[in-house]
């Protein structure tokens, strides 16, 4: 049985995950900090829209950049449920996220997976091109320095990839 986007959504709430190397330690007893001029979400603006206003993010409890990405999403009107889990690698395998595209967190936006620190412009583009039902999600592999939740925007473009359930990937470019 293949994992379709609809089947994925029915299984998504029960999934668990662990963080990948490179995440910053952030203890759970630290107070939440509102974004300010020093925040990694500073400078990341978005005026578009997507047809969902909620998301679920799976990540390890010690990952500080994952929390920064949640702040970025929430700053732009997305209500995020955080699922801190113990075996992220197993979740990513179950969800069909290709190994070479993996990052420190996976976020579910409706029928689509968003792997890593992907700008909302790219998420919006996936929904706008929703006629391609083979697309399971998009990803920015690793933890690029100038991505939402990792630092302010820079002049270089971020490489965004789309992927299918079968593991096929296509490279795209975003701002």
pLDDT given for residue 54 in this prediction? 97
11 vs 61: CA distance, rounded Å: 21
Instruction: Give me the half-sphere count of Cα atoms (radius 13 Å) on the Cβ side of residue 144.
Output: 20
| List of residues 6+ apart from 22 with CB closer than 8 A | 104, 142, 143
pLDDT tens readout for residues 81-96: 999 999 999 999 999 9
pLDDT given for residue 166 in this prediction? 86
**DSSP-assigned states of every residue in the chain:** ----HHHHHHHGGG----PPTTPPP--TTSPP----TTSTTTT-------S-SEEEEEE-TT-HHHHHHHHHHHHTT-EEEEEE-S-HHHHHHHHT--GGG--SEEEEETTEEEESS--HHHHHHHHHTTT-TTEEEEE--S--TTSTTTS---SSPEEEEEEETT--EEEEEE-
What is the distance of C-alpha 40 from the center of its chain?
A: 15
Q: What is the CATH number of domain 54-174?
A: 3.40.30
Q: Which two tokens stand for residue 147?
A: 């991505």
Q: Where are the domains of the chain?
A: 54-174
83 vs 2: CA distance, rounded Å: 24
Contact between 105 and 130 (Cβ < 8 Å): no
Q: With pLDDT > 90 as the criterion, what percentage of the chain qualifies?
A: 61
pLDDT given for residue 80 in this prediction? 97
Mean pLDDT confidence for 129-144: 89
What is the distance of C-alpha 126 from the center of its chain?
A: 13
Q: Please tell me which residue, 12 or 160, carries the higher pLDDT value.
A: 160
* C-alpha separations of 72 from 78, 118, 130, 136 in Å: 9, 10, 23, 22
pTM of the predicted model as reported, rounded to 2 decimal places: 0.77
Per-residue pLDDT band for 37 (boundaries 50, 70, 90) equals: very low
pLDDT given for residue 175 in this prediction? 56
């Amino acid at each position: 049985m293949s994992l379709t986007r609809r089947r994925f959504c029915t299984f998504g709430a029960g999934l668990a995950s662990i963080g990948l190397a490179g995440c910053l330690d952030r203890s759970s007893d630290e107070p939440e900090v509102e974004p300010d001029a020093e925040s990694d979400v500073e400078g990341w603006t978005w005026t578009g829209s997507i047809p969902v206003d909620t998301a679920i993010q799976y990540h390890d409890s010690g990952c500080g950049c994952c929390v920064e990405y949640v702040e970025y999403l929430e700053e732009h009107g997305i209500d995020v449920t955080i699922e801190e889990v113990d075996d992220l690698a197993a979740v990513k395998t179950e969800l069909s996220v290709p190994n070479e595209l993996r990052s420190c967190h996976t976020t579910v936006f409706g029928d689509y997976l968003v792997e890593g620190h992907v700008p909302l412009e790219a998420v919006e583009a996936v929904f706008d091109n929703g006629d391609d039902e083979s697309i399971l999600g998009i990803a920015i592999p690793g933890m690029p320095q100038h991505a939402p939740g990792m630092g302010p925007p820079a002049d270089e473009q971020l490489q965004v990839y789309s992927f299918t359930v079968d593991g096929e990937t296509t490279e795209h470019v975003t701002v």
